[in-house]
Protein backbone atom coordinates (compact mmCIF):
# COMPACT_ATOMS: atom_id res chain seq x y z
CA UNK A 1 0.00 0.00 0.00
CA UNK A 2 1.34 3.33 -0.76
CA UNK A 3 0.76 6.71 0.01
CA UNK A 4 0.91 10.74 -0.65
CA UNK A 5 3.14 16.59 -3.47
CA UNK A 6 5.90 20.81 -3.71
CA UNK A 7 5.86 24.11 -5.21
CA UNK A 8 4.22 23.03 -8.42
CA UNK A 9 2.01 25.44 -10.31
CA UNK A 10 -1.71 25.22 -9.47
CA UNK A 11 -3.67 23.00 -11.81
CA UNK A 12 -7.08 24.56 -11.40
CA UNK A 13 -8.31 28.07 -10.67
CA UNK A 14 -11.66 28.54 -9.00
CA UNK A 15 -11.91 32.14 -10.28
CA UNK A 16 -12.63 32.60 -13.98
CA UNK A 17 -9.80 34.32 -15.85
CA UNK A 18 -12.13 35.41 -18.63
CA UNK A 19 -14.47 37.04 -16.14
CA UNK A 20 -11.60 38.85 -14.48
CA UNK A 21 -10.33 40.16 -17.82
CA UNK A 22 -13.78 41.43 -18.71
CA UNK A 23 -14.11 43.12 -15.33
CA UNK A 24 -10.77 44.88 -15.67
CA UNK A 25 -11.53 45.97 -19.22
CA UNK A 26 -14.92 47.36 -18.25
CA UNK A 27 -13.36 49.25 -15.37
CA UNK A 28 -10.69 50.73 -17.60
CA UNK A 29 -13.23 51.96 -20.18
CA UNK A 30 -15.47 53.38 -17.49
CA UNK A 31 -12.63 55.29 -15.88
CA UNK A 32 -11.55 56.72 -19.23
CA UNK A 33 -15.03 58.03 -20.05
CA UNK A 34 -15.40 59.68 -16.64
CA UNK A 35 -11.92 61.18 -16.40
CA UNK A 36 -13.01 64.64 -17.65
CA UNK A 37 -15.98 64.84 -15.26
CA UNK A 38 -14.28 63.40 -12.19
CA UNK A 39 -10.70 64.64 -11.73
CA UNK A 40 -10.30 62.48 -8.63
CA UNK A 41 -11.16 58.84 -9.22
CA UNK A 42 -12.11 56.53 -6.40
CA UNK A 43 -9.57 53.78 -5.61
CA UNK A 44 -9.94 50.78 -7.96
CA UNK A 45 -11.84 47.83 -6.59
CA UNK A 46 -9.58 44.96 -5.48
CA UNK A 47 -10.59 41.71 -7.12
CA UNK A 48 -9.61 38.65 -5.04
CA UNK A 49 -9.60 35.27 -6.71
CA UNK A 50 -10.27 32.16 -4.67
CA UNK A 51 -7.23 29.92 -4.14
CA UNK A 52 -6.78 27.09 -6.60
CA UNK A 53 -7.88 23.59 -5.74
CA UNK A 54 -4.34 22.33 -5.39
CA UNK A 55 -3.42 25.15 -3.03
CA UNK A 56 -6.47 24.47 -0.86
CA UNK A 57 -5.73 20.78 -0.62
CA UNK A 58 -2.05 21.43 0.01
CA UNK A 59 -2.97 23.65 2.93
CA UNK A 60 -5.41 21.06 4.20
CA UNK A 61 -2.88 18.27 4.19
CA UNK A 62 -0.11 20.37 5.64
CA UNK A 63 -2.26 21.39 8.61
CA UNK A 64 -4.52 18.46 9.41
CA UNK A 65 -2.70 15.36 8.22
CA UNK A 66 -0.75 14.40 11.37
CA UNK A 67 1.80 11.66 11.33
CA UNK A 68 1.07 8.58 13.41
CA UNK A 69 3.94 7.18 15.42
CA UNK A 70 4.78 3.55 14.92
CA UNK A 71 3.83 1.61 18.03
CA UNK A 72 0.71 3.73 18.52
CA UNK A 73 2.29 6.13 21.01
CA UNK A 74 2.27 9.15 18.65
CA UNK A 75 5.25 10.35 20.65
CA UNK A 76 7.04 11.95 17.71
CA UNK A 77 9.61 9.24 17.24
CA UNK A 78 11.61 8.70 14.08
CA UNK A 79 9.36 5.92 12.74
CA UNK A 80 6.08 7.49 11.70
CA UNK A 81 3.38 7.04 9.08
CA UNK A 82 1.87 9.86 7.04
CA UNK A 83 -1.56 8.56 6.04
CA UNK A 84 -3.01 10.39 3.05
CA UNK A 85 -6.16 8.40 2.33
CA UNK A 86 -8.35 8.07 4.26
CA UNK A 87 -7.57 11.37 5.97
CA UNK A 88 -7.16 11.26 9.74
CA UNK A 89 -9.89 13.44 11.23
CA UNK A 90 -9.67 12.64 14.96
CA UNK A 91 -6.49 12.64 17.02
CA UNK A 92 -7.80 13.33 20.52
CA UNK A 93 -8.53 9.69 21.28
CA UNK A 94 -5.94 7.07 22.14
CA UNK A 95 -6.26 5.73 18.60
CA UNK A 96 -6.24 8.20 15.66
CA UNK A 97 -9.37 7.84 13.55
CA UNK A 98 -10.37 8.41 9.93
CA UNK A 99 -13.96 8.48 8.68
CA UNK A 100 -14.58 7.37 5.11
CA UNK A 101 -17.60 8.13 2.92
CA UNK A 102 -16.55 5.52 0.38
CA UNK A 103 -17.65 1.93 0.77
CA UNK A 104 -14.32 0.83 -0.70
CA UNK A 105 -11.77 3.50 0.20
CA UNK A 106 -8.31 3.61 -1.33
CA UNK A 107 -5.56 3.09 1.25
CA UNK A 108 -2.57 5.33 0.72
CA UNK A 109 0.40 6.14 2.92
CA UNK A 110 3.33 8.32 1.92
CA UNK A 111 5.94 5.90 3.19
CA UNK A 112 6.86 2.52 1.78
CA UNK A 113 5.45 -0.24 3.94
CA UNK A 114 6.57 -3.67 5.02
CA UNK A 115 3.07 -4.73 6.03
CA UNK A 116 -0.52 -3.57 5.95
CA UNK A 117 -3.36 -5.36 7.62
CA UNK A 118 -7.00 -4.75 8.46
CA UNK A 119 -8.52 -6.04 11.70
CA UNK A 120 -11.90 -6.04 13.40
CA UNK A 121 -12.17 -6.81 17.11
CA UNK A 122 -8.70 -8.31 17.12
CA UNK A 123 -9.37 -10.60 14.16
CA UNK A 124 -7.24 -10.20 11.04
CA UNK A 125 -9.53 -9.73 8.02
CA UNK A 126 -6.81 -9.09 5.45
CA UNK A 127 -3.04 -8.79 5.38
CA UNK A 128 -0.39 -8.01 2.79
CA UNK A 129 3.38 -8.15 3.32
CA UNK A 130 6.24 -6.81 1.26
CA UNK A 131 8.99 -9.07 -0.04
CA UNK A 132 12.68 -8.67 0.70
CA UNK A 133 13.11 -6.80 -2.58
CA UNK A 134 9.75 -5.08 -3.13
CA UNK A 135 8.02 -2.78 -0.65
CA UNK A 136 4.33 -1.97 -0.49
CA UNK A 137 4.08 1.45 -2.11
CA UNK A 138 1.38 3.57 -3.66
CA UNK A 139 -2.40 3.39 -3.41
CA UNK A 140 -3.96 0.07 -2.44
CA UNK A 141 -7.54 -0.59 -3.56
CA UNK A 142 -9.90 -1.71 -0.81
CA UNK A 143 -9.35 -5.51 -0.56
CA UNK A 144 -12.50 -6.52 1.35
CA UNK A 145 -16.25 -6.39 0.94
CA UNK A 146 -17.69 -2.85 0.92
CA UNK A 147 -17.92 -1.21 4.32
CA UNK A 148 -21.38 -1.05 5.87
CA UNK A 149 -22.64 2.27 7.31
CA UNK A 150 -21.01 2.81 10.69
CA UNK A 151 -18.71 -0.19 10.37
CA UNK A 152 -15.39 0.15 12.20
CA UNK A 153 -12.10 -1.59 11.48
CA UNK A 154 -8.47 -0.92 12.41
CA UNK A 155 -5.64 -0.33 9.96
CA UNK A 156 -2.22 -1.66 10.99
CA UNK A 157 0.68 -0.14 9.05
CA UNK A 158 4.32 -1.15 9.44
CA UNK A 159 6.84 1.05 7.60
CA UNK A 160 9.78 -0.30 5.64
CA UNK A 161 12.67 -1.15 7.92
CA UNK A 162 10.62 -1.38 11.13
CA UNK A 163 10.69 -4.39 13.41
CA UNK A 164 8.07 -7.07 13.00
CA UNK A 165 5.91 -5.86 15.88
CA UNK A 166 6.14 -2.11 15.23
CA UNK A 167 2.91 -0.79 13.74
CA UNK A 168 1.04 2.47 13.43
CA UNK A 169 -2.68 1.92 14.08
CA UNK A 170 -5.61 3.97 12.76
CA UNK A 171 -9.31 3.38 13.37
CA UNK A 172 -11.26 3.45 10.10
CA UNK A 173 -14.95 4.30 10.48
CA UNK A 174 -17.51 4.09 7.69
CA UNK A 175 -19.82 7.08 7.32
CA UNK A 176 -23.61 6.91 7.40
CA UNK A 177 -25.82 5.57 4.64
CA UNK A 178 -26.68 8.95 3.06
CA UNK A 179 -23.02 9.95 2.87
CA UNK A 180 -22.11 6.63 1.31
CA UNK A 181 -24.86 6.97 -1.30
CA UNK A 182 -23.75 10.49 -2.22
CA UNK A 183 -20.13 9.39 -2.58
CA UNK A 184 -21.16 6.41 -4.69
CA UNK A 185 -23.05 8.70 -7.07
CA UNK A 186 -19.96 10.86 -7.52
CA UNK A 187 -17.74 7.82 -8.10
CA UNK A 188 -20.05 6.59 -10.85
CA UNK A 189 -19.25 9.69 -12.93
CA UNK A 190 -15.53 9.32 -13.70
CA UNK A 191 -15.54 12.12 -16.27
CA UNK A 192 -16.70 14.51 -13.59
CA UNK A 193 -14.23 13.32 -10.96
CA UNK A 194 -12.05 16.42 -10.88
CA UNK A 195 -15.10 18.67 -10.75
CA UNK A 196 -16.45 16.60 -7.84
CA UNK A 197 -13.13 16.94 -5.99
CA UNK A 198 -13.25 20.70 -6.51
CA UNK A 199 -16.88 20.94 -5.37
CA UNK A 200 -16.21 18.93 -2.20
CA UNK A 201 -13.15 21.01 -1.33
CA UNK A 202 -15.02 24.26 -1.95
CA UNK A 203 -17.85 23.06 0.30
CA UNK A 204 -15.35 22.30 3.07
CA UNK A 205 -15.69 18.52 2.82
CA UNK A 206 -11.96 17.93 2.61
CA UNK A 207 -12.20 14.26 3.58
CA UNK A 208 -14.49 13.50 0.63
CA UNK A 209 -12.36 15.59 -1.72
CA UNK A 210 -9.26 13.54 -0.96
CA UNK A 211 -11.05 10.21 -1.11
CA UNK A 212 -12.49 11.05 -4.52
CA UNK A 213 -9.10 12.24 -5.74
CA UNK A 214 -7.37 8.95 -4.88
CA UNK A 215 -10.26 6.62 -5.77
CA UNK A 216 -9.51 4.34 -8.75
CA UNK A 217 -9.77 5.82 -12.25
CA UNK A 218 -9.01 4.10 -15.54
CA UNK A 219 -7.46 5.79 -17.33
CA UNK A 220 -6.15 8.42 -14.93
CA UNK A 221 -6.36 11.91 -16.54
CA UNK A 222 -2.99 13.72 -16.50
CA UNK A 223 -4.43 16.55 -14.40
CA UNK A 224 -5.58 14.09 -11.73
CA UNK A 225 -2.26 12.22 -11.73
CA UNK A 226 -0.32 15.46 -11.32
CA UNK A 227 -2.55 16.71 -8.53
CA UNK A 228 -2.19 13.40 -6.67
CA UNK A 229 1.59 13.59 -6.86
CA UNK A 230 1.74 17.23 -5.80
CA UNK A 231 -0.35 16.58 -2.71
CA UNK A 232 1.67 13.55 -1.63
CA UNK A 233 4.93 15.45 -1.86
CA UNK A 234 3.56 18.62 -0.25
CA UNK A 235 1.75 16.90 2.61
CA UNK A 236 4.53 14.61 3.75
CA UNK A 237 7.68 16.09 2.27
CA UNK A 238 8.57 12.96 0.33
CA UNK A 239 9.82 12.57 -3.25
CA UNK A 240 6.99 11.93 -5.67
CA UNK A 241 6.42 8.41 -6.93
CA UNK A 242 3.87 6.96 -9.35
CA UNK A 243 0.41 6.60 -7.78
CA UNK A 244 -1.18 4.67 -10.67
| pLDDT single digits (tens) 67-81 | 677 764 444 446 778
d(CA 178, CA 132): 43
Burial of residue 59 (CB within 10 Å: 0-12, 13-18, 19+) is middle
CA distance linking residue 84 with residue 211, whole number of Å: 9
Spell out the domain ranges in the chain: 55-236
For residues 211 and 108, is the Cβ–Cβ distance under 8 A?
A: no
Q: Which residue has better confidence, 241 or 170? A: 170
- Cβ atoms of 25 and 17 within 8 Å: the answer is no
**106 pLDDT tier (thresholds 50, 70, 90):** very high
Mean pLDDT, range 98-112, rounded to an integer: 92
Each residue of 159-185: pLDDT tens digit? Answer: 888 777 889 999 999 999 999 999 999
| 74-94 per-residue burial string, b: 16 or more CB within 10 A, e: under 16 | beeeebbbbbbbbbbeeeeee
For residue range 185-214, what is the model confidence (pLDDT) as tens digits?
999 998 888 889 888 888 888 889 889 999
Return the DSSP state at 191.
G
Q: Is the pTM of this model over 0.75?
A: no
**In whole angstroms, how large is the CA radius of gyration of the chain?**
22
Is the pLDDT at 11 greater than 60, yes or no? no
**pLDDT per residue as tens digits for the range 46-95:** 333 345 666 666 665 444 455 677 764 444 446 778 888 888 877 666 78
Report d(CA 200, CA 178) in Å as an integer: 15
* Phi, psi of 23, rounded to the nearest 5 degrees: -65, -45
pLDDT of residue 81: 83
Q: 14 burial class (0-12, 13-18, 19+ CB within 10 angstroms)?
A: middle
Amino acid sequence: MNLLPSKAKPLLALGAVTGLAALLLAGALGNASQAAEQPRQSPPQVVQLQPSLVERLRKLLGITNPRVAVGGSRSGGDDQICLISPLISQTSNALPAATTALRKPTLLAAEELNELRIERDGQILWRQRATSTTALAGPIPWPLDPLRPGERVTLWLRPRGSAGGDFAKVALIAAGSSQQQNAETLLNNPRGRLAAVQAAATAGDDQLALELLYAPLDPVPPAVAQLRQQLIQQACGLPSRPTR
